[in-house]
Structure 1
Amino acid sequence: MLQEIQFKLMTRMRQKRDDMLASDLQICPKIKKYLDVLITESRKWNAAWDGERKFQRGNCDCRVYDLTGIPCQHSIAAIHSRRHNPTDYVSDYYKREKYLAAYKHSLEAMKGEEYWDFHGGEIMLPPDIPKRLRGRP
């Protein structure tokens, strides 16, 4: 079972790294899908911009960006009104460099069961757990 888990992890890490290297995405794939949904939902909102540097409200009260590092649909509406790309406002933790850094290390293959050390002679017993008596100690 340990070898199967190790094999699946090794395969998954390699696959994630190869998928990101083959794509031209600048953010993680799941975050990109989530951001696309938020961009679609942001079309319901209208941001009132003064034309220079401020919006009607300076910050968003939903605090999604503060908690996740991903712009909420309200802030995406403001970002689009300034003709900017919402991907530029995603936290650096979700960017391509950090994703590739997380998957850059490879797991080494494990040797089979025939290479494991065998410590025979000792019988493995379950731990001794004393029975607790009822009532007040």
Structure 2
Amino acid sequence: MVEYDEHAQALKKINPAAYHDLVLTEPKHWSRAFFTTEVKCDIVDNSLCEAFKGRIIEAKCKSIYSMLEDMKIMTMTRMHTQRDACARWRRDCGPRIIKKLEENRVGAIYYCIIWNGDAGYEVMDKGVKYVVDVFKRDCTCRRWQLTGIPCIHAISAINYRQDDAYDYVDECYKNTKFLAAYQNMMMLVRGEKFWKKTYKEAPDPLPARVNQRTSEGASGSVGETPIASAALGTPISHGSLV
């Protein structure tokens, strides 16, 4: 929150108009300082949605049935490939979590630690003091609370306790939760040849899109005064210019 206030005031001095436009949107939608700590996610952009859209970009160009069939195959394949991948994990959390945790380990050994005799630690980082509580699993920087992965200050405190930092990773990243997300199987679907016939009348296709422009010679809507086109000499209503 302190860093948010500092950067917000700096932006306000540099460009007041930009600051005004920025605060029109609630900061909980774009600033980590206001993100909830319940979902264990600090992603600011929309990468998850974009990644999914990228996977179905070819299927989206097909008819409804073909599109859903492609999405079903993609999902069905992913369910078992993810389970197989989990079986190859070296620890009880995935390789991406391990990578982030190892990145946070870098430099953690150089911090000055002051222990309060219980679960609290004061961690000095470049002259700035952070407070870590290993039992509550929180740090002043809020990265541990946001992501569920011990931050560099938390790892310093955990190392001081001679504990394993992997034991402090949130349960949502563990293999038990991962397998629970992919434990269900998709129901198989027979080919169209074997579908039960309903003998009901097929629905009519959607009506063709009507051209909204006023046809030549028509009076148009109320308030639309026809004007002459200088180039073509055909009447054009004001509404067609919008």
TM-score of the two chains, using structure 1 as the length reference: 0.76
Q: Which residue number corresponds to residue 108 of structure 1?
A: 187
After superposition, the CA RMSD in angstroms is 2.9
Q: Deviations over 1:4-45 (max 9, x none)?
A: 221111111101111212334211332222212222253453
Shift of 1:122: 3.3
CA contact (8 A) 2:143 2:151 kept: yes
- Give the secondary-structure state (helix, strand or coil) at the position aligned to 1:105: coil
1:122 aligns with 2:203: yes
Cα distance, 1:80–1:108 mapped onto 2, change above 3 Å: same
Of the three residues 174, 185, 197, the one matched with 1:95 is 174
2:158 match? 79
8 Å Cα contact 1:7/1:109 also seen in 2: no
Aligned partner of residue 100 in structure 1, secondary structure: helix
1:112–1:41 distance in 2 versus 1, CA, 3 Å:
farther
Structure with higher RCO (Cα < 8 A, 6+ apart) = 1
Provide the identity percentage.
Answer: 33
- Measured in 2, the distance between the counterparts of 1:22 and 1:120 equals 52
Give me the whole-angstrom Cα distance separating, in 2, the residues matched to 1:25 and 1:72. 19
Residue number in structure 2 paired with 1:16: 82
1:65-116 alpha-carbon deviations (Å, 9 max, x no partner): 2222211111111111211111111111111111111111111233223344
Q: 1:39 aligns with which of 80, 84, 105?
A: 105
- Once structures 1 and 2 are overlaid, which stretch shifts more, 113-122 or 12-21? 113-122
Whether contact under 8 Å (2:131, 2:140) holds in the other structure is no
Larger Rg: 2
Q: Taking structure 2 as the reference length, what is the TM-score of the superposition?
A: 0.46
Count how many residue pairs are aligned between Structure 1 and Structure 2.
Answer: 132
In 1, the alpha carbon distance for the partners of 2:180 and 2:94 equals 12
* SS in structure 2 at match of 1:78: helix
CA contact (8 A) 1:28 1:96 kept: yes
What is the rounded CA distance, in whole Å, between the counterparts of 2:222 and 2:97 in structure 1? 54
Structure 2: runs of 5 or more not aligned: 1-66, 123-129, 133-138, 213-220, 224-242
Q: Which has the higher strand share?
A: 2
Letter paired with 1:2: L
Q: 1:122 to 1:95 in 2, by over 3 A?
A: closer
